[in-house]
Amino acid sequence: MQDRIKYWKGIEELENAPEFEKHARNEFPEFLPVNETNAEGASASGKTHRRDFLKLLGFSMAAVSLASCETPVRKAIPYLNKPVDLEPGVANWYASTFYQDGDYNSILVKTREGRPIKIEPNNQSALTSYGTSPKAQASLLGLYDNNRLRYPLIKNKEASWEKVDKEIASRLANVNGKVAFVSSTVISPSTKQLINEFGSRFGNFEHVMYDANSASGLLSANGGVIPGYDFSKASVIVSIGADFLGSWVAPIPFAKQYIQTRKVSSENPAMSRHYQFETRFSMTGANADVRVPIKPSEEAAVITAIYNAVTGSGAAAASVPNAATVTAAIKELQANRGKALVVAGSNDPGIQAMVTSINRALGAEGTTIDTAAPYYTKQGNDAQMIRLINEMNAGTVGAVLFYDANPVYNHPLAAKVASGIKKVNLTVSFADRANETAALVEYITPDNHYLESWNDFEPKKGYLSLAQPAINPIFTTRQMQDSLLVWSGSRTNYYDYIRNNWRKISTGDFNEFWDHTVHDGVLENGTSMLQVNTNVVATAPVIKAIKPTGIEAVLYEKAIGTGDMANNPWLQEMPDPISKATWGNYVAMPRGMAEEMQVVQGDVLKVTMANGGVIELPALVQPGQAAGTVSIAVGYGRKLESMPVAVGVGANAYPIATVVDNAVFFTGPVKLEKTNATSPIAQTQTHHTIMGRLIVQESTLNKYKADPKAVTEYVRVATHEGPAKPTTISLWDDYEYKDHHWGMVVDLNSCIGCNACVISCQAENNIPVVGKAEVLNRREMHWMRIDRYYSSDTNLESQDLGVVERYDKMEDPADNPSVIFQPMFCQHCNHAPCETVCPVAATMHSSEGLNQMAYNRCVGTRYCANNCPYKVRRFNWFAYPNNEKFVNINTTMQTDLGKMVLNPDVVVRARGVMEKCSFCVQRIQLGKLEAKRENRRPVDGEIQTACAQSCPTNALVFGDMLNPESKISKMLAHEQGERAFHVLEEINTQPNVTYLTKIRNLA
């Protein structure tokens, strides 16, 4: 520090005068009109410094504006008087029954806060335990359908029940002519009895039952009932046109029986042999060991050949198509007397009579046919219905009531029905909306939804079940049975009526019996109540030869069934098991016909029917479709305002059905013409072959019997120490599972491809429906899918083609391919490719083996979906809830009514977020919590994913792989090295989902 020259400011400083000292520190010696408010002399005068004023102002503004920004307050109002049994957050389960068009399911209805949100199988029922059909799962949406009628209508105007009851009661009292009650099959003993009682008041009353998909030929050949087929006892099954796993008679019970003969294990390597002779490629045909495409006109020849061989008679027959296969089938049938079963889907009574004789000759009665317990699920009588239609047109019918029947839409004589209705004085419909028939009648008195109803059922003799309401009627509707009681002048309600009816069969204290039965939902002890008309003239096994005329079209039921559920978006978007098409019907044609007509998939064809009607539908090239035939699904082509989901979707193919000798045949001749239009078909899968990859594995029963360890190809990776298992080559430390390790086994032998799991998953996890346009853009949101692969004639080893041509031809399915179904969903890989690549760590692995998805964290870069080799991740491309783009498509997320079905335990995802199968983590957590409350470990089978719970064939087994006693652990231990394999094992994803090689019983 240098000596610095100090300069004096003035003499005062030099002299250190006291004034100078005093003012030395002041920068401004003059008095300034500013108050000092520094730390040394805080002013108490109250006058605010300018800067302080601004500070205070600014702070106050900020405080006030921040205070006014609150997070929105949601008011939760607790119950003042809590309804009995209603705990918010805790589900209540009610046993009930779903029955529609032959599809019978005994179910449990899960309700939350008083509203049903999920359908599960009722395991108390021997007929349908552990499984539901897709229609049963989706039926929930019908309850929350925004287009249901909310009040009765008189001439399409809202009316009160009092007015309606008064008018109808008085008009019925004064009715002139026949009173007809037209319904589809009624399997409710109490309902049938009630209808008969209702009708007994009238001099001329008839209860006419008809089915849109008729089985009256089968009934007339078997004494008015359906034989008690038991596929579980059969070693040889031959089906001629009967889709018994999908839409014929009683699909769920048949599926459960059938699958018992298809599951294999190394201790019991026995399988049935299943022959399917059919026209269209049905789900049942896909599961058959041998499938032969035949025309409808050739069914007679096949059955006659079998009939002649088995019964020894010499009925006249045309030449048999595929004679060698028919002969082989006959040989096997004869070699397995007492363990053989033949079924046919034709509505020709002569054919069905032949089939009955065949079965009798094969000793089926008493073995594969339970003669003591026939099925009642289809009782429709075509002849009766046709006679009634004629009577209506003749003017002799005074009143007609339609219950669960829509003949103006689904009967081949629809035009005559419409004209007949005009001639009937009193017309009433119990439909839930103004459907095609109800729109023409005078009174629509809407029935409750089945989930709002009391009812009883008897699908099979000796198997009774009940339905109870799971929710109060949402609208001012009334059960049909209650309406009939009111109009009969009775004071009873239907609930009491059922109870009175059941008193007859109760044992002991009735109330105890009743409570117990309502709780269980079923009474399957052989007691029977349904009155069925067995007074039917036996048909002779004589078939009239059908002359094949041009292209034979076959009609069939698809996801939406006969059409009553067309307004159900879950079913509209459900991919068809074989064609993988959604949102519409089409003309499925064989490849040869398409090439001949120079038609490619998506070309719109003009379909001219026998009665002159014309519809336009796109063509779909269907491998395995019999040459010279096409198949078209029914249920589409609705134009009703009350079915907005279904408007514009497909075309009505019912008029193609033909009436021959008072029987309705679901086949008819058509003429096809190309138009210049195209209409792409929304398929969820557009590549159909396996391309020589080891994704699905299959083998034959003979190979399996010879060596169970030789049926699965295990990939090995070449290392310097020789071939090694891919799982042993890893850079990573593996996860250690200490408590639970959840996994799933998929038995490819058991999966029939029905898609019940897909709908169940959609219901459980609030998965949106995206509509046809988005499915065409390949953006459907289903978390799980059933991949369907056709076999191809070309494979990787075909040496006669160059490599490029080989791959090209491998994309073509064979002309009559074999089919394999593979359920595919998140594999919950232990070395998940998706987990490493998310930049924000939105997807990570849980301590119990699940690959978790944190929706809140996802920013939507989609790398995880790109990196998933199984392509199981789904992205929310738009906001699906509350979006007018998806009105009448994603109905569960638009209106308050629709939203009632959403599962409160699962988040509804926002736009821009990735989602995927979570192994129903909400169920896992609930199961663990309940077990913890009871101070125990979860029991195996207690925690079920939605898919596994709904599968009718138990193809999916979910459980804790760390529990050695669990079913899944035992299965894995057993099948290790035999049938168990992982998909894409070679890339070392180490999935928690194991598949079991499919074994086919090939000759």
Partner 1 sequence: MQHTSPIREPLITGGKTYHDITEDVCRQVEAGPNPRWAAAFGVALIGLAIFFYSVYRTLWFGIGEWGLNKTVGWAWDITNFVWWVGIGHAGTLISAVLLLFRQKWRSSINRAAEAMTIFAVICAAMFPVLHMGRPWLAYWVLPLPNTFGSLWVNFNSPLLWDVFAISTYFSVSLVFWYIGLVPDFATIRDRATGPIARRAYSFLSLGWTGSAKSWSRYETVSLILAGVATPLVLSVHTIVSMDFATSVIPGWHTTIFPPYFVAGAIFSGFAMVLTLMLITRVVFKLEDYITVGHVESMNKIIMTTGSIVGIAYTTEFFIAWYSGVTYEQYEFINRATGPYWWAYWTMMTCNVVTPQLFWFRKIRRSLVLTFIISIFVNIGMWFERFVIIVISLHRDYLPSSWAMFYPTWIDVGIYVGTFGLFFTLFFLFVKFFPVINMAEVKAILKSSSGVTQHGHHPHANVVHGAATDLNTNTKHSNE
Q: Does 735 bind partner 1 (CB under 8 A)?
A: no
Nearest distance, CB of residue 657 and partner 1, angstroms:
34
The residue among 360 and 809 lying less far from partner 1, judged by its C-beta, is: 809
Stretch that binds partner 1, among 190-198, 459-467, 770-778, 925-933 (CB under 8 A): 770-778
CB of residue 805 vs partner 1: minimum separation in angstroms?
9
* Per CB under 8 A, 796 contacts partner 1: yes
In the region spanning residues 302 to 361, those forming contacts with partner 1, defined by CB under 8 A, are none
CA atoms within 13 A on the CB side of 550: 12
Asked if residue 460 binds partner 1 (CB under 8 A), the reply is no
Q: Does 858 bind partner 1 (CB under 8 A)?
A: yes
Number of residues that bind partner 1 (CB under 8 A): 62
Quick one: 627 or 987, whose CB is closer to partner 1?
987
With CB under 8 A as the contact rule, the residue among 545, 710, 840, 939 that binds partner 1 is 840
| Cβ(106)–Cβ(95) below 8 Å | yes
Smallest distance, partner 1 to C-beta of residue 943, A:
28
Does residue 787 touch partner 1 according to CB under 8 A?
yes
Distance between first and last Cα of the chain: 110
DSSP codes joined into one string, 674-702: EEEEE---EES----B-TT-SSS-EEEHH
Nearer to partner 1 among residue 674 and residue 871 (C-beta): 871
Binding residue (CB under 8 A) for partner 1 from 857, 930, 941, 965: 857
Strand partners, 960: 742
Nearest CA to 546 among 298, 316, 304?
298
Structure tokens at 446: 């809407």
* Beta carbon nearer to partner 1, 59 or 732: 732
Closest residue by Cα to residue 197 from 489, 545, 625: 489
Q: Does 859 bind partner 1 (CB under 8 A)?
A: yes
Order of strands, sheet of 956-960, starting from the edge strand that comes earlier in the sequence: 956-960, 742-747, 993-996, 980-981
How far is the C-alpha of 126 from the C-alpha of 113, rounded, in Å? 30
Stretch that binds partner 1, among 364-372, 757-765, 871-879, 917-925 (CB under 8 A): 871-879
Residue nearer to partner 1 on the CB measure, 518 or 865: 865
**Cβ proximity to partner 1, 619 vs 838, nearer residue:** 838
- Identify the residue among 137, 429, 944, 989 touching partner 1 (CB under 8 A): 989
DSSP state of 891: G
Q: How far apart are CA 621 and CA 634, in angstroms?
A: 18
> What is the Cα–Cα distance from 946 to 940, expressed in whole angstroms?
15
Cβ at position 885, least distance to partner 1 in Å? 8
**Residue 745 or 838: which CB sits closer to partner 1?**
838
Q: Which residue's entry shows tokens 């030449």?
A: 319
Q: Find the shortest distance in angstroms from Cβ 446 to partner 1.
A: 37
Helix (H) or strand (E) holding 597: helix 591-597
Task: Show contacts of 4-9: CB within 8 Å, 24+ apart.
Answer: none
DSSP assigned state of 226: B
Strands 273-278 and 236-240: parallel
- The answer to whether residue 119 forms part of the interface with partner 1 (CB under 8 A) is no
A 10 A CB-CB count for 396 gives 15
Cα–Cα distance for residue pair 554/790, rounded to 1 Å: 22
Nearer to partner 1, 363 or 833 (CB): 833
For residue 149, what are the contacts with CB-CB under 8 A and spacing of at least 6? 431, 432, 433, 434, 444, 446, 475, 477, 642
Residue in 669, 833, 904, 927 binding partner 1, rule: CB under 8 A:
833
Residue 409, interface with partner 1 (CB under 8 A)?
Answer: no
871 binds partner 1 (CB under 8 A): yes
Nearer to partner 1, 852 or 867 (CB): 867
Token digits of residue 219:
């009934």
Neighbours of 126 (CB within 10 A): 13
Which of helix, strand or coil describes residue 389? helix
Comparison of 317 and 691: residue with beta carbon closer to partner 1 = 691
**Do the Cβ atoms of 88 and 102 come closer than 8 Å?**
no
**Element at 12 (helix H, strand E):** helix 11-15
* Interacting residues of 993 by C-beta distance below 8 A, sequence separation 6+: 743, 744, 745, 746, 825, 827, 828, 982, 983
Q: Which of 332, 436, 774, 960 forms a contact with partner 1 (CB under 8 A)?
A: 774
Nearer to partner 1, 270 or 840 (CB): 840
Q: Which is nearer to partner 1, 770 or 951 (CB)?
A: 770
Q: How far is CA 783 from CA 398, 760, 774, 868, 991, in A?
A: 53, 11, 15, 14, 17
Q: Least CB distance from residue 106 to partner 1, whole Å? A: 33
- CB neighbours of 884 closer than 8 A, spacing ≥ 6? none
CB of 118 to partner 1, least distance (A): 25
**Cβ neighbours of residue 896 closer than 8 Å, sequence gap 6 or more:** none
Can you give 947-970 as a three-state secondary structure string?
A: HHHHCCCCCEEEEECCCCCCHHHH
DSSP SS3 for 838: coil
With CB under 8 A as the contact rule, the residue among 315, 383, 984, 1002 that binds partner 1 is 984
Q: Which is nearer to partner 1, 243 or 573 (CB)?
A: 573
CB-based burial, 906-918: b 16+ in 10 Å, e otherwise: bebbeeebbbbbb
Pick the closer one to partner 1 by CB: 452 or 835: 835
Q: Using CB under 8 A, which of 307, 376, 457, 789 touches partner 1?
A: 789
Interface with partner 1 in residues 462-501 (CB under 8 A)? none
* x/- map, 914-953, partner 1, by CB under 8 A: x---------------------------------------
595: which residues sit within 8 A by CB, 6+ positions away? none
The 801-820 site mask, x for binding partner 1 (CB under 8 A), equals --xx--xx------------
Write down the least CB distance from residue 121 to partner 1, Å: 28
Identify residue 663 by its one-letter amino acid code. Answer: A
Shorter beta-carbon distance to partner 1: residue 142 or 860: 860
- Which lies closer to partner 1 via its Cβ, residue 557 or residue 774? 774
Q: Which two tokens stand for residue 193?
A: 């009895």
Residue 846 interacts with partner 1 (CB under 8 A): yes or no: no
Show the binding pattern over residues 887-916: x = contacts partner 1 (CB under 8 A), - = does not.
-----------------------xxxxx--
From 593, 599, 399, 373, select the one nearest 487 (Cα to Cα): 399
- Determine, following the binding rule CB under 8 A, whether residue 791 of this chain makes contact with partner 1: no
Stretch that binds partner 1, among 100-108, 131-139, 388-396, 692-700 (CB under 8 A): 692-700
Q: Does 777 bind partner 1 (CB under 8 A)?
A: yes
Residue whose token pair is 């049994």 = 85
Q: Per CB under 8 A, does 693 bind partner 1?
A: yes
Q: Is 869 in the site for partner 1 (CB under 8 A)?
A: yes
Indicate the residue among 313 and 777 with the shorter CB distance to partner 1: 777
Nearer to partner 1, 20 or 807 (CB): 807
In degrees, rounded to 5, the angle at the alpha carbon of residue 358 between the alpha carbons of residues 352 and 361 is 145
CB of 796 to partner 1, least distance (A): 7
Residue 163 within binding range of partner 1, rule CB under 8 A: no
Q: In the window 652-691, what residues touch partner 1 (CB under 8 A)?
A: 685-691
Select from 473, 692, 904, 927 the one that contacts partner 1 (CB under 8 A).
Answer: 692
Point out which residues bind partner 1 (CB under 8 A): 685-693, 695, 774, 777-780, 785, 787-789, 796, 803-804, 807-808, 822, 824, 833, 836-841, 857-863, 865-867, 869-871, 873-879, 910-914, 983-984, 987, 989
